[in-house]
Amino acid sequence: MRRPPDNHRPWQLGLVLGLAAVLRLPRVFLRWDEVAIAYAAYTEPAVQAVERLSPGELLGAWVGLHPPLHAALMAILETTWSAPLGWLLLSATMSMLTVAVVARAGGLLAALVVATSPLQLADAAEVNNYPLAVLAMAVLCAAARGPWLLFVAAVGLACWSHVLGMCAAAVLTLWRLVWPVGQGERTRVAAGALLVALPVAAGALHLVGQSSTFSQPELDLGEWWTMVSEAWGLVGVGLGLLTGFGLVWARGEARVVWAGLAVAYMLALLLGAAAPHQRPYLGLLGPPAALVLAATVHQLRLRRGTAARTVWLVVAMACLGRGGVGLAAELESARAVVADLSVPRGIDDAWAASRPGDTLWLVAPALQADDDKSDRSPVLWRLRPWWTMPRASLVGLQHDPIDYLWGHPRRVQARTLHTSTELSPRHFDAVAKAVLADGGRLFVVLYDHAPATELAGRVARVMRPYAASHRVHPRSSGLGDDHVWQVDGLAGSRDARP
Protein backbone atom coordinates (compact mmCIF):
# COMPACT_ATOMS: atom_id res chain seq x y z
CA MET A 1 0.00 0.00 0.00
CA ARG A 2 1.68 3.16 -1.18
CA ARG A 3 1.02 6.41 0.57
CA PRO A 4 -1.70 8.52 -1.11
CA PRO A 5 -0.34 11.64 -2.83
CA ASP A 6 0.18 14.45 -0.35
CA ASN A 7 -1.98 16.95 -2.21
CA HIS A 8 -3.28 18.81 0.81
CA ARG A 9 -1.96 22.21 1.74
CA PRO A 10 -0.02 22.88 4.95
CA TRP A 11 -2.78 25.04 6.39
CA GLN A 12 -5.26 22.18 5.95
CA LEU A 13 -3.04 19.85 7.94
CA GLY A 14 -2.64 22.63 10.49
CA LEU A 15 -6.41 22.79 10.89
CA VAL A 16 -6.60 19.02 11.48
CA LEU A 17 -3.82 19.18 14.06
CA GLY A 18 -5.52 22.16 15.68
CA LEU A 19 -8.79 20.21 15.82
CA ALA A 20 -6.94 17.27 17.37
CA ALA A 21 -5.51 19.55 20.05
CA VAL A 22 -8.90 21.13 20.82
CA LEU A 23 -10.51 17.70 21.18
CA ARG A 24 -7.74 16.46 23.49
CA LEU A 25 -7.48 19.41 25.85
CA PRO A 26 -10.76 18.63 27.67
CA ARG A 27 -9.39 15.12 28.25
CA VAL A 28 -6.37 16.59 30.03
CA PHE A 29 -8.74 18.55 32.25
CA LEU A 30 -11.20 15.75 32.95
CA ARG A 31 -8.76 12.92 33.56
CA TRP A 32 -7.27 14.55 36.63
CA ASP A 33 -8.89 12.22 39.15
CA GLU A 34 -8.10 9.58 41.77
CA VAL A 35 -7.49 6.98 39.06
CA ALA A 36 -4.62 9.07 37.67
CA ILE A 37 -2.86 8.86 41.05
CA ALA A 38 -3.47 5.11 41.22
CA TYR A 39 -2.11 4.55 37.70
CA ALA A 40 0.96 6.68 38.47
CA ALA A 41 1.69 4.45 41.47
CA TYR A 42 2.11 1.43 39.17
CA THR A 43 5.29 2.99 37.79
CA GLU A 44 6.98 2.89 41.21
CA PRO A 45 9.40 0.04 40.30
CA ALA A 46 10.58 2.02 37.27
CA VAL A 47 10.94 5.20 39.35
CA GLN A 48 13.14 3.35 41.82
CA ALA A 49 15.19 1.85 38.98
CA VAL A 50 15.77 5.29 37.43
CA GLU A 51 16.66 6.81 40.79
CA ARG A 52 19.20 4.01 41.39
CA LEU A 53 20.45 4.20 37.77
CA SER A 54 19.83 0.47 37.43
CA PRO A 55 19.11 -0.61 33.81
CA GLY A 56 18.65 -4.21 34.94
CA GLU A 57 15.85 -3.25 37.34
CA LEU A 58 14.29 -1.05 34.67
CA LEU A 59 14.05 -3.99 32.25
CA GLY A 60 11.99 -5.82 34.85
CA ALA A 61 9.73 -2.85 35.62
CA TRP A 62 6.76 -4.16 33.67
CA VAL A 63 3.30 -2.87 34.56
CA GLY A 64 1.14 -5.94 34.12
CA LEU A 65 1.48 -6.90 30.45
CA HIS A 66 3.02 -3.55 29.57
CA PRO A 67 6.76 -3.25 28.80
CA PRO A 68 8.75 -0.64 30.74
CA LEU A 69 9.14 2.22 28.24
CA HIS A 70 6.15 4.27 29.40
CA ALA A 71 7.01 3.56 33.02
CA ALA A 72 10.55 4.79 32.35
CA LEU A 73 9.22 8.03 30.81
CA MET A 74 6.94 8.48 33.82
CA ALA A 75 9.90 7.84 36.12
CA ILE A 76 11.88 10.59 34.41
CA LEU A 77 8.94 12.95 34.91
CA GLU A 78 8.62 11.90 38.55
CA THR A 79 12.24 12.74 39.19
CA THR A 80 12.19 16.07 37.31
CA TRP A 81 8.67 17.56 37.47
CA SER A 82 6.31 15.51 39.62
CA ALA A 83 3.15 17.48 38.83
CA PRO A 84 0.20 15.35 37.63
CA LEU A 85 -0.27 17.76 34.73
CA GLY A 86 3.00 16.39 33.37
CA TRP A 87 1.61 12.84 33.40
CA LEU A 88 -1.51 13.95 31.52
CA LEU A 89 0.32 16.12 28.99
CA LEU A 90 2.80 13.33 28.28
CA SER A 91 0.00 11.13 27.00
CA ALA A 92 -1.79 13.98 25.21
CA THR A 93 1.44 14.85 23.40
CA MET A 94 1.82 11.25 22.25
CA SER A 95 -1.75 11.27 20.99
CA MET A 96 -1.07 14.46 19.05
CA LEU A 97 2.10 12.97 17.59
CA THR A 98 0.04 9.99 16.42
CA VAL A 99 -2.14 12.31 14.36
CA ALA A 100 0.94 13.98 12.86
CA VAL A 101 2.63 10.66 12.00
CA VAL A 102 -0.56 9.28 10.44
CA ALA A 103 -0.87 12.47 8.38
CA ARG A 104 2.70 12.00 7.18
CA ALA A 105 2.07 8.37 6.29
CA GLY A 106 -1.46 8.51 4.91
CA GLY A 107 -2.54 12.06 4.19
CA LEU A 108 -5.23 14.41 5.46
CA LEU A 109 -8.16 12.00 5.61
CA ALA A 110 -6.27 9.41 7.64
CA ALA A 111 -5.19 12.13 10.07
CA LEU A 112 -8.77 13.37 10.39
CA VAL A 113 -10.02 9.86 11.20
CA VAL A 114 -7.47 9.45 14.01
CA ALA A 115 -7.89 13.03 15.26
CA THR A 116 -11.63 12.54 15.88
CA SER A 117 -11.72 8.85 16.82
CA PRO A 118 -13.66 8.35 20.10
CA LEU A 119 -11.30 5.50 20.97
CA GLN A 120 -8.24 7.69 20.58
CA LEU A 121 -9.84 10.56 22.49
CA ALA A 122 -10.92 8.32 25.36
CA ASP A 123 -7.30 7.37 26.07
CA ALA A 124 -5.63 10.58 24.92
CA ALA A 125 -4.66 11.71 28.44
CA GLU A 126 -4.51 8.42 30.32
CA VAL A 127 -1.70 7.84 32.79
CA ASN A 128 -0.78 4.54 31.16
CA ASN A 129 1.05 3.26 28.12
CA TYR A 130 -1.78 3.14 25.58
CA PRO A 131 -1.19 6.56 23.95
CA LEU A 132 2.46 5.56 23.57
CA ALA A 133 1.51 2.17 22.12
CA VAL A 134 -0.88 3.76 19.61
CA LEU A 135 1.87 6.18 18.57
CA ALA A 136 4.19 3.19 18.13
CA MET A 137 1.69 1.56 15.74
CA ALA A 138 1.57 4.74 13.66
CA VAL A 139 5.38 4.98 13.56
CA LEU A 140 5.64 1.30 12.65
CA CYS A 141 3.38 1.82 9.63
CA ALA A 142 5.13 5.03 8.60
CA ALA A 143 8.62 3.48 8.80
CA ALA A 144 7.73 0.16 7.13
CA ARG A 145 9.24 1.12 3.75
CA GLY A 146 11.85 3.51 5.11
CA PRO A 147 15.60 3.08 5.71
CA TRP A 148 16.42 -0.06 7.66
CA LEU A 149 17.71 1.86 10.68
CA LEU A 150 14.48 3.86 10.95
CA PHE A 151 12.48 0.65 10.60
CA VAL A 152 14.48 -1.03 13.38
CA ALA A 153 13.89 1.98 15.64
CA ALA A 154 10.14 1.70 14.96
CA VAL A 155 10.26 -2.01 15.82
CA GLY A 156 12.00 -1.17 19.08
CA LEU A 157 9.39 1.47 19.96
CA ALA A 158 6.57 -1.00 19.28
CA CYS A 159 8.17 -3.81 21.28
CA TRP A 160 8.92 -1.60 24.26
CA SER A 161 5.41 -0.10 24.29
CA HIS A 162 2.98 -3.04 24.41
CA VAL A 163 2.89 -6.82 24.08
CA LEU A 164 0.50 -6.50 21.13
CA GLY A 165 3.00 -4.08 19.61
CA MET A 166 5.59 -6.86 19.74
CA CYS A 167 3.26 -9.06 17.71
CA ALA A 168 2.66 -6.36 15.11
CA ALA A 169 6.39 -5.62 14.91
CA ALA A 170 7.19 -9.32 14.43
CA VAL A 171 4.69 -9.71 11.59
CA LEU A 172 5.83 -6.51 9.86
CA THR A 173 9.48 -7.54 10.20
CA LEU A 174 8.71 -10.80 8.39
CA TRP A 175 6.92 -8.79 5.72
CA ARG A 176 9.93 -6.49 5.38
CA LEU A 177 12.30 -9.48 5.06
CA VAL A 178 10.55 -10.78 1.92
CA TRP A 179 11.13 -7.49 0.12
CA PRO A 180 13.16 -7.77 -3.09
CA VAL A 181 16.28 -6.20 -1.58
CA GLY A 182 19.88 -7.29 -1.12
CA GLN A 183 20.88 -9.91 1.41
CA GLY A 184 22.84 -7.32 3.38
CA GLU A 185 19.66 -5.27 3.88
CA ARG A 186 17.77 -8.33 5.12
CA THR A 187 20.56 -9.21 7.52
CA ARG A 188 20.65 -5.71 8.99
CA VAL A 189 16.86 -5.63 9.41
CA ALA A 190 16.71 -9.08 11.01
CA ALA A 191 19.67 -8.51 13.32
CA GLY A 192 18.56 -5.01 14.31
CA ALA A 193 14.97 -6.06 15.03
CA LEU A 194 16.16 -8.99 17.10
CA LEU A 195 18.58 -6.80 19.04
CA VAL A 196 16.00 -4.17 20.04
CA ALA A 197 13.32 -6.77 20.85
CA LEU A 198 15.38 -9.20 22.93
CA PRO A 199 15.52 -7.19 26.19
CA VAL A 200 11.73 -7.04 26.47
CA ALA A 201 11.05 -10.37 24.75
CA ALA A 202 12.58 -12.07 27.79
CA GLY A 203 10.07 -10.29 30.01
CA ALA A 204 7.22 -11.28 27.72
CA LEU A 205 8.25 -14.94 27.84
CA HIS A 206 8.39 -14.74 31.63
CA LEU A 207 4.79 -13.48 31.69
CA VAL A 208 3.65 -16.28 29.37
CA GLY A 209 4.90 -18.75 31.95
CA GLN A 210 2.73 -17.27 34.72
CA SER A 211 -0.81 -18.56 35.19
CA SER A 212 -1.97 -15.14 36.46
CA THR A 213 -1.33 -13.75 32.97
CA PHE A 214 -4.28 -15.78 31.65
CA SER A 215 -6.77 -15.10 34.45
CA GLN A 216 -9.13 -12.66 32.69
CA PRO A 217 -12.84 -13.52 32.30
CA GLU A 218 -13.89 -15.90 29.53
CA LEU A 219 -14.73 -14.29 26.19
CA ASP A 220 -18.41 -13.49 25.77
CA LEU A 221 -18.89 -12.47 22.13
CA GLY A 222 -22.14 -10.66 22.87
CA GLU A 223 -20.58 -8.60 25.65
CA TRP A 224 -17.53 -7.93 23.51
CA TRP A 225 -19.54 -6.75 20.51
CA THR A 226 -21.66 -4.50 22.72
CA MET A 227 -18.47 -2.88 23.99
CA VAL A 228 -17.09 -2.49 20.46
CA SER A 229 -20.27 -1.00 18.99
CA GLU A 230 -20.64 1.44 21.89
CA ALA A 231 -17.00 2.45 21.61
CA TRP A 232 -17.15 3.01 17.87
CA GLY A 233 -20.56 4.63 17.61
CA LEU A 234 -22.63 4.73 14.42
CA VAL A 235 -20.01 6.67 12.47
CA GLY A 236 -17.28 4.34 13.65
CA VAL A 237 -19.21 1.26 12.55
CA GLY A 238 -19.67 2.79 9.10
CA LEU A 239 -15.99 3.65 8.83
CA GLY A 240 -15.17 0.17 10.08
CA LEU A 241 -17.17 -1.40 7.25
CA LEU A 242 -15.36 0.75 4.69
CA THR A 243 -12.04 -0.18 6.30
CA GLY A 244 -13.00 -3.85 6.16
CA PHE A 245 -13.52 -3.49 2.42
CA GLY A 246 -10.06 -1.94 2.15
CA LEU A 247 -8.48 -4.77 4.17
CA VAL A 248 -9.73 -7.25 1.59
CA TRP A 249 -8.84 -5.13 -1.40
CA ALA A 250 -5.76 -3.09 -0.51
CA ARG A 251 -2.28 -4.44 0.10
CA GLY A 252 0.57 -3.08 2.13
CA GLU A 253 2.13 -2.47 5.49
CA ALA A 254 -0.93 -0.99 7.23
CA ARG A 255 -2.94 -4.11 6.47
CA VAL A 256 -0.08 -6.28 7.77
CA VAL A 257 0.10 -4.32 11.03
CA TRP A 258 -3.69 -4.36 11.40
CA ALA A 259 -3.86 -8.11 10.78
CA GLY A 260 -1.00 -8.83 13.20
CA LEU A 261 -2.65 -6.76 15.92
CA ALA A 262 -6.12 -8.22 15.30
CA VAL A 263 -4.94 -11.83 15.42
CA ALA A 264 -2.85 -11.22 18.55
CA TYR A 265 -5.75 -9.39 20.21
CA MET A 266 -8.24 -12.19 19.49
CA LEU A 267 -5.78 -14.80 20.76
CA ALA A 268 -5.32 -12.75 23.93
CA LEU A 269 -9.10 -12.68 24.41
CA LEU A 270 -9.46 -16.41 23.81
CA LEU A 271 -6.56 -17.28 26.14
CA GLY A 272 -7.76 -14.98 28.92
CA ALA A 273 -4.80 -12.57 28.72
CA ALA A 274 -7.16 -9.72 27.77
CA ALA A 275 -10.65 -9.08 29.11
CA PRO A 276 -13.60 -8.55 26.72
CA HIS A 277 -14.52 -5.26 28.42
CA GLN A 278 -11.06 -3.69 28.14
CA ARG A 279 -11.57 -1.10 25.45
CA PRO A 280 -8.08 0.44 25.12
CA TYR A 281 -6.77 -2.59 23.18
CA LEU A 282 -8.99 -1.57 20.27
CA GLY A 283 -7.25 1.79 20.05
CA LEU A 284 -4.05 0.15 18.83
CA LEU A 285 -5.86 -0.80 15.64
CA GLY A 286 -6.66 2.87 14.96
CA PRO A 287 -3.58 4.08 13.02
CA PRO A 288 -3.32 1.12 10.60
CA ALA A 289 -7.10 1.12 10.11
CA ALA A 290 -7.09 4.86 9.31
CA LEU A 291 -4.28 4.34 6.80
CA VAL A 292 -6.14 1.48 5.12
CA LEU A 293 -9.31 3.59 5.02
CA ALA A 294 -7.53 6.56 3.45
CA ALA A 295 -5.82 4.34 0.87
CA THR A 296 -9.16 2.73 0.00
CA VAL A 297 -10.86 6.10 -0.54
CA HIS A 298 -7.88 7.22 -2.62
CA GLN A 299 -8.16 4.15 -4.84
CA LEU A 300 -11.88 4.78 -5.26
CA ARG A 301 -11.13 8.33 -6.34
CA LEU A 302 -8.67 7.07 -8.95
CA ARG A 303 -11.15 4.56 -10.34
CA ARG A 304 -14.53 6.23 -9.89
CA GLY A 305 -13.75 9.93 -10.19
CA THR A 306 -16.40 12.40 -9.05
CA ALA A 307 -18.62 9.87 -7.27
CA ALA A 308 -15.72 8.75 -5.14
CA ARG A 309 -14.90 12.32 -4.19
CA THR A 310 -18.30 12.32 -2.56
CA VAL A 311 -17.16 9.36 -0.44
CA TRP A 312 -14.13 11.40 0.67
CA LEU A 313 -16.33 14.33 1.65
CA VAL A 314 -18.84 12.09 3.45
CA VAL A 315 -16.07 10.46 5.49
CA ALA A 316 -14.53 13.84 6.30
CA MET A 317 -17.88 15.35 7.33
CA ALA A 318 -18.72 12.27 9.43
CA CYS A 319 -15.40 12.66 11.25
CA LEU A 320 -15.99 16.35 11.85
CA GLY A 321 -19.51 15.62 13.07
CA ARG A 322 -18.44 13.00 15.59
CA GLY A 323 -15.65 15.28 16.75
CA GLY A 324 -18.15 18.08 17.36
CA VAL A 325 -20.54 15.81 19.27
CA GLY A 326 -17.71 14.47 21.40
CA LEU A 327 -16.37 17.96 22.13
CA ALA A 328 -19.83 19.16 23.22
CA ALA A 329 -20.13 16.25 25.66
CA GLU A 330 -16.64 16.84 27.05
CA LEU A 331 -17.26 20.56 27.53
CA GLU A 332 -20.49 19.80 29.38
CA SER A 333 -18.60 17.46 31.71
CA ALA A 334 -15.93 20.11 32.24
CA ARG A 335 -18.64 22.70 32.99
CA ALA A 336 -20.07 20.40 35.69
CA VAL A 337 -16.62 20.07 37.28
CA VAL A 338 -16.09 23.84 37.27
CA ALA A 339 -19.57 24.43 38.74
CA ASP A 340 -18.81 22.02 41.59
CA LEU A 341 -15.67 23.95 42.46
CA SER A 342 -17.83 26.85 43.63
CA VAL A 343 -19.77 24.61 46.04
CA PRO A 344 -18.29 24.11 49.55
CA ARG A 345 -17.17 20.51 50.01
CA GLY A 346 -15.69 18.52 52.84
CA ILE A 347 -12.22 18.66 51.36
CA ASP A 348 -12.37 22.48 51.48
CA ASP A 349 -12.83 22.35 55.27
CA ALA A 350 -10.11 19.75 55.74
CA TRP A 351 -7.62 21.59 53.55
CA ALA A 352 -8.29 24.95 55.24
CA ALA A 353 -7.91 23.43 58.73
CA SER A 354 -4.76 21.48 57.87
CA ARG A 355 -1.24 22.81 58.21
CA PRO A 356 2.15 21.72 56.88
CA GLY A 357 3.05 18.32 58.27
CA ASP A 358 -0.56 17.11 58.47
CA THR A 359 -2.05 14.22 56.51
CA LEU A 360 -5.28 14.13 54.48
CA TRP A 361 -6.88 10.82 53.53
CA LEU A 362 -9.55 11.04 50.83
CA VAL A 363 -11.99 8.13 50.58
CA ALA A 364 -14.35 7.74 47.63
CA PRO A 365 -15.69 4.50 46.14
CA ALA A 366 -15.13 3.44 42.57
CA LEU A 367 -18.70 3.93 41.38
CA GLN A 368 -18.00 2.49 37.95
CA ALA A 369 -15.30 0.60 36.12
CA ASP A 370 -12.68 2.89 34.64
CA ASP A 371 -12.78 1.20 31.23
CA ASP A 372 -15.10 3.76 29.65
CA LYS A 373 -13.10 6.71 31.05
CA SER A 374 -16.25 8.67 31.89
CA ASP A 375 -15.83 9.19 35.65
CA ARG A 376 -15.05 12.68 36.95
CA SER A 377 -13.62 14.07 40.19
CA PRO A 378 -14.55 17.66 41.04
CA VAL A 379 -13.21 16.99 44.56
CA LEU A 380 -9.68 16.22 43.45
CA TRP A 381 -9.66 19.36 41.29
CA ARG A 382 -9.38 21.30 44.57
CA LEU A 383 -5.75 20.17 44.40
CA ARG A 384 -4.42 21.73 41.22
CA PRO A 385 -2.72 19.26 38.87
CA TRP A 386 0.12 21.70 38.19
CA TRP A 387 1.15 21.54 41.85
CA THR A 388 4.11 19.24 42.35
CA MET A 389 3.08 15.99 44.05
CA PRO A 390 6.13 13.81 44.65
CA ARG A 391 5.78 10.36 46.16
CA ALA A 392 5.63 10.42 49.94
CA SER A 393 7.52 8.05 52.22
CA LEU A 394 5.59 7.02 55.32
CA VAL A 395 7.54 7.69 58.51
CA GLY A 396 8.70 4.43 60.07
CA LEU A 397 6.62 2.32 57.66
CA GLN A 398 7.45 -0.08 54.88
CA HIS A 399 4.53 0.06 52.47
CA ASP A 400 3.71 -1.34 49.03
CA PRO A 401 3.14 1.72 46.79
CA ILE A 402 0.96 -0.32 44.43
CA ASP A 403 -1.37 -1.53 47.22
CA TYR A 404 -4.31 0.88 46.96
CA LEU A 405 -5.18 0.38 50.65
CA TRP A 406 -2.15 2.52 51.54
CA GLY A 407 -3.72 5.32 49.50
CA HIS A 408 -0.77 5.95 47.13
CA PRO A 409 0.66 8.71 49.39
CA ARG A 410 1.94 11.93 47.81
CA ARG A 411 3.32 15.18 49.19
CA VAL A 412 1.12 18.17 48.33
CA GLN A 413 1.86 21.66 49.63
CA ALA A 414 3.88 20.21 52.56
CA ARG A 415 1.02 17.85 53.44
CA THR A 416 0.69 14.13 52.81
CA LEU A 417 -2.24 13.06 50.65
CA HIS A 418 -3.76 9.56 50.53
CA THR A 419 -6.56 8.54 48.15
CA SER A 420 -8.36 5.19 48.34
CA THR A 421 -11.71 3.55 47.64
CA GLU A 422 -11.83 1.94 51.11
CA LEU A 423 -10.39 2.70 54.54
CA SER A 424 -8.63 -0.43 55.72
CA PRO A 425 -8.30 -0.55 59.55
CA ARG A 426 -4.85 -2.17 59.41
CA HIS A 427 -3.41 0.30 56.91
CA PHE A 428 -5.07 3.34 58.46
CA ASP A 429 -3.97 2.43 62.00
CA ALA A 430 -0.36 2.11 60.88
CA VAL A 431 -0.43 5.52 59.16
CA ALA A 432 -2.34 7.20 62.01
CA LYS A 433 0.11 5.88 64.60
CA ALA A 434 3.07 7.24 62.62
CA VAL A 435 1.42 10.62 61.95
CA LEU A 436 0.33 11.17 65.57
CA ALA A 437 3.70 10.06 66.94
CA ASP A 438 5.34 12.64 64.67
CA GLY A 439 3.13 15.42 66.05
CA GLY A 440 0.88 15.75 63.02
CA ARG A 441 -2.87 15.64 62.61
CA LEU A 442 -4.87 13.50 60.26
CA PHE A 443 -8.02 14.43 58.32
CA VAL A 444 -10.29 11.84 56.70
CA VAL A 445 -12.70 13.03 54.00
CA LEU A 446 -15.44 10.72 52.70
CA TYR A 447 -17.36 11.86 49.62
CA ASP A 448 -19.57 10.63 46.75
CA HIS A 449 -20.22 7.42 48.67
CA ALA A 450 -24.00 6.87 48.72
CA PRO A 451 -24.10 4.17 45.98
CA ALA A 452 -21.45 2.15 47.87
CA THR A 453 -23.39 0.12 50.44
CA GLU A 454 -22.40 0.89 54.05
CA LEU A 455 -19.13 2.61 53.16
CA ALA A 456 -19.93 5.49 55.53
CA GLY A 457 -20.54 3.01 58.33
CA ARG A 458 -17.30 1.17 57.64
CA VAL A 459 -15.29 4.40 57.72
CA ALA A 460 -17.01 5.46 60.94
CA ARG A 461 -16.06 2.16 62.58
CA VAL A 462 -12.44 2.63 61.56
CA MET A 463 -12.51 6.07 63.24
CA ARG A 464 -14.08 4.86 66.50
CA PRO A 465 -10.86 4.34 68.50
CA TYR A 466 -9.64 7.88 67.79
CA ALA A 467 -10.21 11.23 69.42
CA ALA A 468 -11.71 12.91 66.39
CA SER A 469 -14.20 15.63 65.58
CA HIS A 470 -16.76 14.83 62.88
CA ARG A 471 -18.47 17.27 60.53
CA VAL A 472 -21.03 16.68 57.78
CA HIS A 473 -21.45 18.72 54.61
CA PRO A 474 -25.00 18.12 53.30
CA ARG A 475 -25.16 17.36 49.61
CA SER A 476 -28.15 17.24 47.23
CA SER A 477 -26.44 15.43 44.35
CA GLY A 478 -27.63 11.94 45.26
CA LEU A 479 -24.08 10.77 45.95
CA GLY A 480 -24.31 11.30 49.71
CA ASP A 481 -23.14 13.93 52.18
CA ASP A 482 -19.47 14.73 52.61
CA HIS A 483 -18.01 13.60 55.96
CA VAL A 484 -14.87 15.04 57.56
CA TRP A 485 -13.05 13.60 60.56
CA GLN A 486 -10.19 15.47 62.20
CA VAL A 487 -8.05 13.01 64.16
CA ASP A 488 -6.07 14.49 67.03
CA GLY A 489 -5.20 11.43 69.07
CA LEU A 490 -6.03 7.90 70.18
CA ALA A 491 -9.13 7.50 72.34
CA GLY A 492 -9.31 3.75 72.94
CA SER A 493 -8.26 0.30 71.83
CA ARG A 494 -8.90 -1.09 68.40
CA ASP A 495 -9.55 -4.48 70.00
CA ALA A 496 -12.46 -3.02 71.95
CA ARG A 497 -14.39 -2.14 68.82
CA PRO A 498 -17.61 -4.20 68.45
Q: What percent of the chain has pLDDT over 90?
A: 53
Q: Which of 323-327, 373-377, 388-392 has the lowest mean pLDDT?
A: 373-377
Where is average pLDDT lowest: 17-21, 124-128, 278-282, 480-484?
278-282
pLDDT of residue 25: 95
State the pLDDT confidence band at 369, using cuts at 50, 70 and 90.
low
pLDDT at 155: 96
The pLDDT assigned to 305 comes to 60
pLDDT given at position 249: 63
Mean pLDDT of 265-294: 86
pLDDT at 212: 67
Q: Which of 9-13, 185-189, 390-394 has the highest mean pLDDT?
A: 185-189
Question: Is 80 exceeded by the pLDDT of residue 404?
Answer: yes
pLDDT digits (tens, 9 = 90+) for 419-449: 999 999 999 999 999 999 888 999 999 999 9
What average pLDDT is seen over the chain? Answer: 86
The answer to which of 71-75, 164-168, 225-229, 484-488 has the lowest mean pLDDT is 225-229
Q: Do residues 60 and 136 make contact, with C-beta atoms less than 8 angstroms apart? A: no
Q: What pLDDT score does 171 carry?
A: 94
* This model's pTM is above 0.85: yes
CA torsion 24→318→138→143, rounded to 10°?
A: -140
pLDDT of residue 373: 67
Give percent of the chain above pLDDT 70.
Answer: 91
Mean pLDDT of 343-367: 93
Band of pLDDT at residue 6, cut at 50, 70 and 90: low
Which range, 72-86, 267-281, 297-311, is most confident?
Answer: 72-86
Cα–Cα nearest to 429, from 409, 406, 408: 406
Picking from 201-205, 234-238, 263-267, which range would have the lowest pLDDT averaged per residue? Answer: 234-238
The mean pLDDT of 232-253, rounded to a whole number, is: 72
Residue 160 confidence (pLDDT) above 90: yes
Q: Specify the pLDDT at position 475.
A: 84
